[in-house]
């Protein structure tokens, strides 16, 4: 014993003694009593807090406590020695024996395919507080000791349960299928008492694993225990009751119950009570729900595992209104499509742009003005093509995570990649109801973040660009966006149909050489169908006018006569002069330095149809002669008939060959002229807006790439979930798929530009078609074909799953998408927009997409039978919901989140795909998704009304993420040190008083930011 400023005057040996602490408020003393009969030692502290801390310190400082710590250290030393001896033995063992000591020796946990390896729930009883008058606010931290490494890894935590010594935790523990956990794995459970909940939720996940949390950060250590996974899995009751002890292993501070959970199965054991709040209110006895029909996921495992990666699972159990348990498994997974789809798209862009550049070069000789224009366009296009190629090369080097974090949204090499694209799935197992899946795709708003939003987004930029093109004095020909799109469509049809017609023509000649009447008929049928499509593709005034414009761009052009549309009488006279392909003469290419006959195109175009008619007539004559000769020869000697057949076969090929060659020549002539004319149209589009036109194309490609990656992910997930739902599959090929986007962007500052980008990108998805094919290999990633404004996504399914599809889908019917976007800004920036800015953009987007949603519902009611919906009453419900949505949009109410809830409900009732987007798919998105999930549990699965807020807190709590440090957060993806210490947001009410205060606030915020980063 000693005073503060003196030497030690007495030493007290704490052995076989106990501590008596006086609990009266004015008394701050402690008495030490000894078993040996020594006089009591009376100690007095300066304050009650010091008295409590001295009591704890003295209790841990006795000799028995030190001996317990020594024993614990000895056990740790023995474990380390065993581990080292095992490692040393590996050096001297043969490789076969060394392998037997590796991971293969561990026993895997038996489980259902595509299901978590292990799930369990937790509850504590009779916890002992450090002081008797304190109410505990506890949570359990779960750590894993891997058998191969003997390293303690923090895995997850429960939520905080307040005000009880017998907490029952609603958050469970789940290990996903890919997690390396075995029967030999040890799991450590550590119980903490939270003194300051706000501090703990911030700091609990950044503590080093080897250090216990200090009391000064808001929580204190109560006790811990460890168990082997095998003990839980093999226990008869599938339940363990473990003793919680202090860190020295001596004092018992309560018990903890671990219950093995299997979704859809009956659990043994019952829960006595659930604390509803800090006042120790109890709800009635909660019984376990009976098993229900599960959701089959075994067949979809290979194809889904190719798309979804790195799942993070969370398990909850919530009481229902009739006092039964329902279990909820929440899963968040990355998708490989975040990089796969953009890379496929960029590759298609490169091919399309290379083909366009070559078509521009193949225009031939042009007048100096047009030739200089072409050179300038090709130079700019080559620069853009080089940029696409560089981006694709950089993406090919990417390794690591399969998603782009929000901190990378400004990186140029990743601008085609969607931000934080994840699947958020909620699997609900509730009493007396079938298991249900609720999927939401979360992704950052598709936008060109690297290019910035100084001049707005695509919606404004495209409108401004089109107005400037129409009104500027550029020396080029103006073609409307519709005509430009038509030119691209014609070129696409040419590139698609020409090789098909050539192949069918070759098959026709092959059938003729083999003298096969049936094969000849089939080949002729396919040739006729494709040729008719080819001819009709050029039935457009645009081709004729473009040919004339191209001729005027040639050096020394002279017009023979003014342009006049041809009538049917003139076309008929042409047909009379050319009855046989031998009379059809190939036209020269578009003449230079000569008179141009505008009717020449009509003759060239009509020659294709005439050539086809001649081929058809010849095949008919050959088949007719063959039937007559077969009848006659059949009456004579059979051997003579065989000889005749062989001879006739040679005549078939010889008679058809010149006609087929003529057809190909006429088609080649049409292709040459049409390609040049349409390429000239595209030249005008590019020349009128260089370089802005190419930059807008790039921006649109970037936004579309991000939007398409999310759409493909959503379609694949929805298809797998609905494979056994015949009503959904019928709806899919009869009407199409509704895709509803929930936007949470404000209409203020940069986010207004993001919203403009997002609106255009989602609208462009209307031109995407899906096709389901049977996979021919183990690669189940989707295949993308097509061109800008017309893409087809081929989704591959294993054979067993493909057989479940309707015949229409199996035959390759293209499936349409109906994307709709509803946006409601909800953050503080939206408050500024509503007070001082403009919300017209949001109102227009919501109104436009409401009309699209009504159009889809009209198609649905017209094409689908009344019994498609689960209940006939739901059709009336949908009408009411649509009318309610219409009224809310018209009301123009500030931050009207009812719009989002109504749109989401309509989407789910119409079997649609749900997306939730904000700037980075983090804060606002997570708040929206968790609120939606809890609302679904309340409305569809009878969640107990007293537990709505607690369920919401469980899903939103960062505490339950446990193992994730700030730098490992999949939705943050950036280092904690890089975050600003404050956001410089002052009370909005103060800013709304005067616009002068708003200016002052902006200046102060800018000054603070500059000072911080200097």
- Distance CA(782)–CA(366), nearest Å, equals 43
Vertex 986: Cα angle to 985 and 991 (nearest 5):
120
- Give the three-state DSSP class for 29: strand
Cβ atoms within 10 Å of 630's Cβ, excluding its own:
14
Upstream peptide bond of 903 is cis (omega within 30 degrees of 0) = no
Q: Closest Cα to residue 954, out of 188, 432, 426, 444?
A: 426
- Distance CA(828)–CA(553), nearest Å, equals 57
Q: Tell me the two tokens of residue 592.
A: 């230079």
Which helix H or strand E contains 8, and what residues bound it?
Answer: none
Residue 918 is a catalytic residue: yes
Pairing relationship of beta strands 152-157 and 252-260 according to DSSP bridges: unpaired
CA distances from 325 to 269, 319, 605, 697, 711 (A): 12, 5, 73, 54, 35
- The alpha helices in 688-749, defined as continuous H runs, are 692-721, 726-734
Catalytic residue among 313, 381, 907, 918: 918
Cβ atoms within 10 Å of 883's Cβ, excluding its own:
11
Find the helix packing angle between 541-552 and 600-635, rounded to 10°.
130
- Distance CA(531)–CA(520), nearest Å, equals 16
- Give the three-state DSSP class for 900: helix
Our measurement of the distance from residue 494's CA atom to the centroid of its chain's CA atoms, rounded to an integer in Å, reads 35
The phi-psi region of residue 312 (left if phi > 0; otherwise alpha if psi is between -120 and 50; otherwise beta) is beta
Secondary structure letter of residue 984 according to DSSP: -
Find the length of the chain: 1014
Secondary structure letter of residue 765 according to DSSP: G
**CB of 950 closer than 8 Å to CB of 476:** no
Secondary structure letter of residue 333 according to DSSP: E
Vertex 471: Cα angle to 468 and 476 (nearest 5):
95
Q: In the chain, what's the furthest Cα-to-Cα distance?
A: 139
- Distance CA(528)–CA(197), nearest Å, equals 77
**CB of 508 closer than 8 Å to CB of 530:** no
**CB of 703 closer than 8 Å to CB of 760:** yes
- Distance CA(931)–CA(904), nearest Å, equals 12
Which helix H or strand E contains 226, and what residues bound it?
Answer: strand 219-228
Pairing relationship of beta strands 436-444 and 913-918 according to DSSP bridges: parallel
Question: Which long-range contacts (C-beta less than 8 Å, at least 24 apart) are formed by 278-284?
Answer: 278/135, 278/162, 278/163, 279/163, 280/163, 280/164, 283/319, 283/323, 283/944, 283/946, 284/323
- The alpha helices in 892-994, defined as continuous H runs, are 898-909, 923-941, 948-956, 988-991
Active site residues: 918
């Amino acid at each position: 014993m000693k005073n503060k400023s003196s030497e030690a005057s007495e030493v007290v040996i704490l052995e076989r003694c106990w501590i008596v602490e006086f609990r009266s408020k004015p008394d701050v003393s402690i008495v030490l009593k000894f078993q040996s009969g020594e006089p009591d030692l009376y100690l007095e502290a300066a304050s009650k807090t010091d008295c409590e801390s001295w009591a704890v310190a003295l209790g841990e400082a006795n000799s028995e406590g030190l001996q317990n710590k020594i024993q614990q250290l000895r056990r740790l030393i023995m474990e380390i020695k065993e581990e080292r001896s095992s490692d040393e033995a590996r050096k001297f063992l043969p490789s076969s024996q060394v392998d037997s000591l590796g991971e293969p020796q561990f026993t895997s946990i038996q489980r259902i395919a595509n299901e978590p390896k292990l799930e369990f729930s937790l509850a504590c009883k009779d916890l002992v507080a450090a002081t008797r008058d304190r109410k505990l606010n506890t949570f359990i931290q779960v750590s894993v000791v891997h058998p191969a490494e003997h390293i303690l890894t923090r895995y997850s935590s429960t939520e905080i349960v307040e005000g009880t010594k017998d907490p029952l935790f609603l958050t469970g523990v789940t290990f996903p299928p890919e997690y390396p956990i075995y029967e030999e794995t040890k799991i450590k459970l550590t119980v903490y008492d939270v003194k300051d909940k706000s501090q703990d939720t911030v700091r609990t996940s950044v503590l080093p694993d080897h250090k216990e949390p200090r009391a000064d950060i808001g929580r204190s250590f109560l006790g811990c225990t460890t168990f082997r996974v095998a003990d839980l899995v093999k226990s008869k009751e599938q339940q363990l009751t473990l003793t919680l002890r202090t860190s020295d292993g001596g004092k018992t501070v309560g018990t903890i119950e671990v219950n093995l959970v299997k979704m859809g199965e009956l659990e043994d054991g019952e829960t006595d009570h659930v604390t509803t709040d800090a006042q120790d209110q109890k709800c009635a006895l909660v019984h376990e729900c009976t098993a229900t029909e599960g959701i089959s996921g075994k067949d979809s495992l290979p194809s889904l595992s190719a798309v979804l990666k790195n799942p993070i699972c969370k398990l909850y159990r919530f009481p229902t209104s009739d006092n039964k348990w329902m279990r909820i498994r929440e899963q968040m997974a990355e998708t490989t499509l975040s990089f796969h789809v953009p890379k496929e798209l960029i590759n298609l862009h490169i091919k399309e742009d290379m083909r366009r550049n070559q078509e521009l070069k193949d225009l031939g000789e042009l007048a100096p003005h047009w030739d200089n224009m072409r050179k300038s366009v090709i130079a700019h296009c080559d620069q853009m093509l080089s940029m696409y190629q560089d981006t694709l090369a950089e993406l090919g080097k990417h390794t690591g995570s399969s998603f782009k974090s929000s901190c990378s949204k400004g990186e140029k090499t990743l601008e085609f990649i969607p931000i934080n694209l994840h699947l958020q799935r909620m699997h609900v197992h509730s009493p007396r109801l079938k298991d249900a899946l609720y999927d939401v795709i979360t992704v950052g708003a598709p936008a060109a973040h690297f290019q910035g939003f100084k001049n707005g987004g695509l919606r404004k930029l495209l409108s401004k660009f089109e107005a400037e093109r129409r009104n500027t004095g550029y020396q080029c020909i103006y073609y409307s966006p519709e005509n430009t799109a038509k030119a691209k469509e014609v070129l696409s049809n040419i590139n698609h149909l020409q090789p098909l017609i050539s192949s069918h023509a070759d098959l026709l000649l092959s059938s003729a050489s083999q003298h096969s009447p049936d094969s000849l008929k089939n080949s002729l049928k396919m040739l006729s169908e494709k040729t008719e499509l080819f001819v009709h593709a050029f039935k457009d005034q645009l081709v004729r006018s473009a040919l004339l414009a191209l001729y005027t761009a040639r050096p020394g052009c002279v017009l023979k006569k003014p342009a006049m549309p041809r009538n049917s009488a003139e076309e008929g006279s042409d047909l009379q002069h050319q009855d046989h392909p031998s009379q059809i003469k190939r036209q020269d290419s578009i003449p230079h330095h000569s008179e141009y006959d505008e009717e020449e195109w009509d003759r060239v175009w009509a020659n294709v149809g005439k050539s086809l008619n001649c081929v058809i007539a010849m095949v008919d004559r050959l088949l007719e002669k063959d039937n007559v000769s077969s009848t006659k020869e059949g009456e004579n000697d059979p051997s003579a008939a065989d000889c005749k057949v062989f001879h006739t076969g040679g005549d078939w090929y010889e008679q058809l060959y010149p006609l087929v060659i003529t057809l190909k020549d006429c088609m080649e002539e049409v292709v040459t002229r049409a390609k040049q004319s349409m390429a000239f149209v595209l030249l005008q589009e590019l020349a009128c807006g260089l370089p802005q036109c190419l930059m807008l194309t790039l921006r649109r490609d970037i936004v579309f790439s991000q939007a398409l990656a999310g759409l493909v992910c959503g379609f694949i997930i929805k298809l797998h979930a609905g494979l056994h739902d015949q009503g959904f599959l019928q709806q899919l090929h009869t009407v199409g798929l509704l895709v509803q986007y929930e936007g949470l962007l404000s209409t203020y500052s940069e986010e207004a530009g993001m919203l403009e980008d997002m609106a255009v990108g989602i609208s462009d998805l209307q031109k995407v078609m899906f096709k389901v094919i049977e996979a021919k290999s183990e690669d189940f990633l989707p295949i993308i074909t097509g061109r800008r404004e017309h893409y087809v996504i081929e989704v591959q399914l294993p054979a067993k799953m493909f057989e479940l599809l309707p015949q229409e889908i199996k035959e390759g019917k293209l499936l349409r998408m109906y994307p709709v976007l509803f946006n409601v800004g909800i953050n503080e920036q939206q408050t500024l927009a509503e007070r001082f800015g403009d919300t017209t953009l949001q109102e227009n987007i919501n109104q436009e997409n409401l009309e699209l949603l009504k159009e889809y519902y009209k198609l649905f009611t017209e094409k689908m039978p009344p019994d498609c919906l689960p209940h006939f009453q739901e059709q009336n419900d949908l009408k009411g919901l649509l009318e309610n949505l219409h009224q809310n949009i018209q009301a123009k109410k500030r931050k009207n989140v009812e719009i989002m809830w109504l749109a989401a409900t309509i989407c789910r009732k119409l079997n649609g795909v749900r997306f939730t987007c904000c700037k980075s798919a983090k804060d606002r998105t997570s708040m929206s998704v968790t609120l939606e999930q809890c609302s679904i549990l309340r409305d569809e699965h009878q969640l107990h009304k007293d537990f709505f807020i607690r369920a919401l807190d469980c899903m939103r709590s960062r505490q339950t993420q446990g193992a994730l440090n700030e730098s490992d957060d999949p939705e943050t993806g950036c280092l904690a040190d890089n975050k600003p210490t404050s956001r410089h947001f002052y009370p909005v009410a103060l800013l709304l008083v005067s616009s002068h205060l708003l200016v002052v606030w902006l200046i102060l915020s800018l000054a603070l930011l500059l000072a911080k980063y200097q």
